[in-house]
């Protein structure tokens, strides 16, 4: 490949466009110092990819752009293009003409490279340069410094020129690239190895977790089918029982109401009949007294009649005289007094009747109060029965451990056998009722986990369960667990969130010695107010923690959300609180019932007193009536007597007749009174019989009511028990299985007996509980990690293969480099000796590997012995001799491995004129295979150039070139030398 043209503009001192054409052979570039002739060398280096600004004699890469002068302003862009003739096919590039360009604009850091006008990469330029041998650090560009470096460098440093000559630069570059790839591959292998190793560590426990999770899902699926059908059956049974008892209780209520109304009716009738009986008794007594009085008066009248008869006899004999006027006046006075008494009795009767009516009204009010209090007492007694039933159920569950899994129950019942047993989780923690639902939701079956001191106790307990075929249980050894927590930075974030309540472990009371248990179970669980807050907190923390609300809604690790309506379940946590709460409520109800019953007793006592008062009033009223009747009778008698006495025309014998008439009247009254007395006695006997009958009926009804109340209480308890079991079954069905009762009844049927189903549910629950903590996300997580593990393992295997391939490639390149270096040293050794003899006029020289056993690392030594000298150490020669030896070596290399282009920048400057001539003549000998561009100012070199270009600065700071004849060149150089000598 031959250089045929150089174009430059804006590069260093080339402010004006520069174009140099080359015809091959040896082309010289001459000019005074400072004219910019060596900038041609820098331009070629730069366009071929030089990256070091120091190699280009600048401080930074932008220094290559023309900076301006006093007469010419600075440019903003540097551009250099080399054009090569590739018709001989020295390059694998298919084009016959190859142009390589590099452009740099001021203010833009990136260079732009072009091949045949097409934008390319820096490495593409380097590839062409290395392939053809005209690249950086090759023999293609040799300066005076390069010659000095060869002479002065160490054996190891000198090796580089032979590597360039051997054409191993591209192999070294590829090797370097391969080593970098190997390092990256090794680094990737290490990194991927760490990841694969970490994944293996994660996958092993994940497989166990996933296996447990699959077993859990399988068992829960089996349990679901049976338990839903069983729950549906139980719900129907309890519902039917509850409805039947409700109907029964409604009938009982009606009967109780009927009994109560009848008893009250009997009491009312008795309360009316007894005073009537007492009044009749009084009236009978009064009639008996009246009859007695009439008898006595009859006797008196008979005596009077006898006396009247005697008196008549005396009057007839004139012994006495009758005065009827006195008797009439006396009767008038008596009639007036009797009339006043009758009025008084009537007034008193009215007062007593008003009192009686008032008492009757009070009795009605008391009866209403008693009825209202009775209803309230019955309600409270019903509530009390329900609470006592619920308490009995809770205490029965606690005492008989009916709500524990079989395995857990067995260990609890035999806890004395296990030293180091502390209890189940539910018994060791105390939870504020406000947070019971949240903690229950989090712990779930873990409330039945058994806490022991260490793993030895757990192993002993497991063996005990196995040997007794008593189910399974989960154990938490305190010495084996570690506290869980939330990172401090995460805590700082969530504590500022509205709705944040706290960490679950902070909401639980527990003995200090069990604090590790608290932190293990609840230390990384966040409790918040509601599901919106839970979702927000979970998202903020990248779903790394479980978040639970007070209502029991949950956002699990990974983002699964569980929630909805949930009734209070009969869980282990809080059962003691419920028992305590009920026990506190019952005495209060008893007190209220007792107070209201005391009120009823007080009302009944008042009612009884009122009955007594009313009875006494009735008695008084009867007595008054009796007195009034007697007085009225007496008044009638007095009126009759007064009328009789008023008749003056009657004679004394008429008086006697009247007396007889009075006796007849009294006898008639006696007969009437006796008849009335018999009638009232008959009424009294009937009323007394009725009272006795009412009392017996009332007593019978009261006994029936007591029996009914006893039966009522039992049925209330049975109804409450049915309701509790119904609600428990329904709550588990809805909250745990998220299915309605109707769908459960319709879709799930038992294929085994009820007893077998209950046994299966209990056993399966024990087995599920014994599985311990279940990580349901582990199945998907395992799948993801196994997929990643397989992918990374595949990548790892590919990297291992790549590493082997790269290692093999490096070994192959080492072999190629060794072979080529060996060959170049051998070939150059021959040519070097020949060139040395020519250049020095005799003597001998050779090169050799310092360490022939390590060709890849070995330095290359030079031994030279000019004619007449015994010196072999290169450092002992003079400067000119060193330069000539170095030039001889360079020419030897070029003879052994000719290059298409070689640029020599004042390499002969240190030689004397005779050796300059030898140097220039040798170039003519080499030009057949190598194109030379020689930058020089020596006569001996210029005179032997095929073409010459002169460099000058017609404008200060701006280099321009022109073709020269040899005479012009000599004149230019002479003028330069004269200027230098002055």
pLDDT of residue 305: 65
704-719 pLDDT tens trace: 877 777 777 777 778 7
Residue 806 or 979, more confident: 806
Helices (H), 842-912: 879-896
Q: Which helix (H) or strand (E) holds 422?
A: strand 421-424
Distances from the Cα of 968 to the Cαs of 37, 235, 637, 981, in angstroms? Answer: 16, 123, 199, 20
Task: Tell which residue, 26, 30, 4, 332, has the closest CA to residue 971.
Answer: 30
Strands (E), 425-524: 429-431, 450-452, 475-477, 500-503, 508-510
Residue 328 pLDDT grade (very low, low, confident, very high; cuts 50, 70, 90): low
CB atoms within 10 A of CB 331: 19
Residue 821 or 639, more confident: 821
35 is in an annotated binding site: yes
Task: Tell which residue, 933, 828, 840, has the closest CA to residue 883.
Answer: 840
pLDDT of residue 304: 64
Task: Tell which residue, 167, 154, 165, 129, has the closest CA to residue 46.
Answer: 129
Tokens representing residue 901 in the block: 């282009």
CATH number of 414-446+473-569: 3.30.70.1620
Residue 1 pLDDT grade (very low, low, confident, very high; cuts 50, 70, 90): confident
- What angle, 0 to 180 degrees and rounded to 10, lies between the N-to-C axes of helices 652-731 and 324-400? 10
In angstroms, the CA 431 to CA 425 distance is 12
- pLDDT above 70 covers a percentage of the chain that reads 89
Over residues 483-494, the mean pLDDT reads 89
401-444 pLDDT tens trace: 556 778 888 888 888 889 899 988 888 888 888 888 888 888 88
Q: Among the listed ranges 724-733, 819-828, 929-938, 944-953, which one has the minimum average pLDDT value? A: 724-733
pLDDT at position 324 over 70 = no
pLDDT at position 855 over 70 = yes
In angstroms, the CA 389 to CA 295 distance is 75
Over residues 351-378, the mean pLDDT reads 80
Over residues 333-357, the mean pLDDT reads 78
Q: Which helix (H) or strand (E) holds 435?
A: none
pLDDT of residue 973: 59
Distance of CA 647 to the CA centre of its chain: 124
Residue 649 pLDDT grade (very low, low, confident, very high; cuts 50, 70, 90): very low
Strands (E), 770-885: 844-849, 860-865
Q: Among the listed ranges 198-207, 356-365, 798-807, which one has the minimum average pLDDT value? A: 356-365
- The residue whose two tokens read 């009328």 is 643
pLDDT of residue 652: 46
pLDDT of residue 66: 93
Tokens representing residue 676 in the block: 């009335």
32 is in an annotated binding site: yes
- Looking at residue 419, the DSSP 8-state letter turns out to be T
Q: What are phi and psi of 865, to 5 degrees?
A: -135, 95
Residue 457 or 610, more confident: 457
Tokens representing residue 752 in the block: 């085994």
Distances from the Cα of 664 to the Cαs of 295, 658, 669, in angstroms? Answer: 12, 10, 9
Contact of 216 with 774, CB cutoff 8 Å: yes
pLDDT of residue 453: 92
Tokens representing residue 137 in the block: 């650090």
Distances from the Cα of 60 to the Cαs of 15, 147, 350, 447, 818, in angstroms? Answer: 19, 26, 138, 75, 37
662 is in an annotated binding site: no
In angstroms, the CA 430 to CA 433 distance is 9
Task: Tell which residue, 449, 439, 444, 510, has the closest CA to residue 481.
Answer: 449
Contact of 12 with 66, CB cutoff 8 Å: yes
pLDDT at position 982 over 60 = no
Q: What are phi and psi of 772, to 5 degrees?
A: 75, -150
**In angstroms, how far is the first alpha carbon of the chain from the final one?**
44
588 is in an annotated binding site: no
Contact of 537 with 547, CB cutoff 8 Å: yes
CB atoms within 10 A of CB 618: 20
Rounded to the nearest integer, the mean pLDDT of the chain is: 83
Q: What are phi and psi of 476, to 5 degrees?
A: -120, 100
Task: Tell which residue, 611, 633, 614, 610, has the closest CA to residue 345.
Answer: 633
Residue 547 pLDDT grade (very low, low, confident, very high; cuts 50, 70, 90): very high
- pTM for the whole structure: 0.46
Residues 6+ apart with CB under 8 A from 976: 31, 32, 33, 937
pLDDT of residue 648: 45
Q: Which helix (H) or strand (E) holds 571?
A: none
In angstroms, the CA 607 to CA 611 distance is 6
Distance of CA 287 to the CA centre of its chain: 98
Over residues 27-33, the mean pLDDT reads 89
In angstroms, the CA 789 to CA 797 distance is 12
38 is in an annotated binding site: yes
pLDDT of residue 6: 95
Distances from the Cα of 283 to the Cαs of 280, 288, 302, 464, 648, in angstroms? Answer: 5, 8, 28, 92, 40
């Amino acid at each position: 490949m031959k250089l045929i043209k150089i174009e430059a503009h804006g590069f260093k001192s080339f402010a004006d466009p520069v174009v140099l054409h080359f015809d091959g052979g040896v082309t010289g570039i001459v000019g005074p110092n400072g004219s910019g002739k060596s900038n041609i060398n820098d331009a070629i280096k730069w366009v071929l990819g030089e990256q070091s600004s120091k190699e280009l004699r600048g401080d930074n890469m932008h220094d290559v752009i023309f900076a301006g002068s006093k007469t010419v302003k600075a440019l903003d862009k540097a551009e250099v293009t080399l054009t090569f003739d590739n018709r001989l096919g020295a390059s694998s590039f298919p084009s016959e003409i190859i142009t390589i360009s590099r452009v740099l604009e001021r203010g833009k850091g990136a260079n732009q490279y072009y091949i045949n006008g097409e934008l390319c990469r820096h490495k593409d330029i380097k590839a062409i340069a290395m392939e053809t041998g005209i690249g950086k650090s090759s023999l293609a560009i040799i300066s005076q410094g390069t010659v000095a470096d060869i002479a002065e460098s160490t054996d190891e440093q000198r090796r580089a020129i032979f590597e360039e000559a051997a054409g191993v630069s591209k192999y070294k570059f590829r090797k370097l690239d391969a080593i970098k790839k190997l390092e990256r591959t090794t680094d990737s292998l290490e990194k991927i190895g760490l990841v694969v190793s970490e994944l293996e560590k994660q996958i092993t426990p994940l497989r166990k977790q996933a296996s447990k999770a699959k077993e859990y899902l399988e068992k829960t699926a089996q349990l679901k089918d049976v338990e839903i059908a069983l729950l549906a059956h139980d719900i129907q049974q309890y519902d039917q029982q509850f409805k039947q008892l409700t109907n029964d209780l409604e009938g009982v209520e009606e009967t109780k109401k009927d009994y109560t109304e009848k008893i009250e009716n009997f009491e009312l009738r008795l309360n009316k009949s007894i005073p009537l009986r007492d009044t009749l008794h009084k009236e009978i007594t009064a009639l008996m007294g009246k009859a007695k009085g009439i008898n006595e008066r009859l006797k008196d009248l008979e005596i009077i009649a006898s006396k009247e008869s005697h008196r008549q006899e005396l009057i007839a004999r004139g012994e006495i005289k009758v005065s009827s006027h006195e008797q009439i006046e006396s009767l008038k006075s008596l009639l007036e007094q009797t009339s006043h008494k009758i009025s008084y009795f009537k007034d008193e009767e009215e007062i007593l009747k008003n009192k009686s009516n008032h008492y009757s009204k009070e009795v009605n009010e008391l009866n209403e109060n008693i009825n209202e209090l009775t209803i309230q007492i019955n309600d409270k007694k019903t509530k009390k029965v329900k609470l006592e039933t619920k308490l009995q159920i809770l205490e029965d569950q606690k005492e008989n451990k009916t709500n524990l899994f079989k395995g857990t129950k067995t260990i609890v019942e035999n806890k004395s056998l296990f030293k180091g047993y502390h209890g189940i989780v539910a018994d060791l923690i105390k939870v504020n009722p406000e947070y019971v639902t949240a903690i229950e939701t989090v712990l779930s079956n873990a409330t039945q986990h058994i806490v022991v001191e260490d793993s030895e106790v757990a192993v002993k307990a497991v063996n005990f369960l196995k040997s007794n075929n008593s189910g399974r249980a989960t154990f938490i050894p305190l010495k084996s667990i570690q506290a869980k927590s939330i990172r401090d930075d995460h805590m700082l974030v969530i504590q500022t969130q509205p709705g944040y309540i706290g960490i679950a472990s902070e909401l639980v009371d527990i003995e200090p010695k069990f604090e590790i248990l608290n932190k293990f179970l609840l230390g990384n669980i966040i409790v918040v107010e509601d599901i919106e807050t839970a979702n927000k907190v979970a998202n903020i923390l990248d779903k790394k923690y479980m978040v639970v609300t007070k209502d029991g809604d949950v956002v699990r690790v990974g983002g699964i959300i569980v929630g909805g309506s949930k009734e209070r379940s009969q869980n282990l946590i809080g059962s003691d609180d419920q028992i305590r709460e009920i026990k506190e409520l019952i005495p209060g109800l008893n007190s209220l019932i007792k107070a209201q019953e005391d009120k009823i007793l007080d009302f009944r006592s008042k009612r009884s007193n009122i009955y007594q008062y009313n009875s006494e009033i009735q008695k008084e009223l009867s007595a008054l009536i009796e007195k009034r009747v007697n007085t009225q009778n007496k008044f009638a008698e007095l009126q009759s007597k007064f009328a009789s006495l008023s008749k003056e025309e009657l004679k004394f014998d008429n008086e006697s007749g009247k007396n007889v008439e009075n006796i007849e009247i009294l006898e008639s009254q006696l007969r009437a009174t006796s008849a009335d007395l018999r009638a009232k006695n008959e009424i009294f006997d009937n009323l007394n019989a009725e009272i006795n009958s009412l009392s017996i009926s009332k007593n019978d009804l009261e006994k029936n009511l007591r029996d009914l109340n006893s039966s009522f209480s039992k049925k209330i308890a049975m109804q409450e028990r049915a309701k509790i079991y119904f609600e428990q079954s329904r709550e588990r069905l809805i909250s745990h299985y998220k299915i309605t009762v109707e769908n459960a009844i319709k879709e799930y049927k038992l294929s085994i007996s009820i007893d077998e189903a209950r046994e299966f549910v209990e056993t399966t629950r024990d087995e599920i509980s014994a599985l311990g903590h279940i990580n349901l996300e582990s199945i998907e997580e395992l799948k993801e990690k196994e997929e990643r593990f397989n992918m990374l393992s595949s990548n790892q295997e590919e990297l291992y293969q790549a590493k082997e391939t790269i290692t093999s490639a490096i070994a192959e390149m080492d072999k190629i480099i060794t072979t080529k270096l060996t060959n170049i040293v051998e070939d150059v050794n021959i040519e070097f000796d020949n060139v040395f003899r020519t250049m020095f006029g005799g003597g001998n020289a050779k090169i050799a590997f310092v360490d022939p056993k390590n060709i890849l690392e070995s330095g290359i030594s030079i031994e030279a012995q000019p004619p007449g000298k015994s010196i072999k150490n290169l450092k002992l020669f003079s400067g000119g001799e060193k330069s000539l030896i170095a030039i001889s070596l360079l020419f030897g290399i070029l003879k052994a491995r000719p290059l298409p282009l070689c640029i020599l920048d004042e390499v002969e400057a240190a030689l004397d004129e005779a050796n300059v001539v030898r140097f220039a003549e040798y170039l003519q000998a080499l030009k057949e295979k190598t194109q030379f561009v020689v930058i020089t100012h020596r006569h001996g070199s210029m005179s032997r150039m095929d073409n010459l270009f002169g460099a000058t600065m017609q404008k200060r700071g701006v280099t321009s070139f022109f073709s020269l004849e040899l005479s012009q060149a000599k004149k230019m150089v002479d003028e330069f030398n004269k200027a230098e000598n002055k």
